[in-house]
Amino acid sequence: TLCYKQTHVKLERGLQLVKEYQEELDTMIHLQEVVSSHRGNEIMKALTVLTAVSTPLTALGALWGMNFKYMPELEWKYSYLIA
């Protein structure tokens, strides 16, 4: 019975180690998800800034790049502000 008792103690210790390792792995997986989410947020922030800068420039370039000779609003000084 001493052999069974020692085996039982070793098995309990092994199971406790497995539970602790499982908790450690769960924590590491959660940490990886947090880091990945943070990286994604940083990328989205950079893309938002790029879009906020390029959109008005694109709109102005499109407006000034029109090659229409007969546009009634070209005769008025503040026609684009009113429109």
- Whole-number pLDDT of residue 73: 65
| Amino acid (1-letter code) at residue 9 | V
pLDDT digits (tens, 9 = 90+) for 13-30: 999 999 999 999 999 999
Q: For the segment 40-59, what is each residue's pLDDT rounded down to a tens digit?
A: 999 999 999 999 999 999 98
Mean pLDDT (the chain) is 89
Percent of the chain with pLDDT over 70: 84
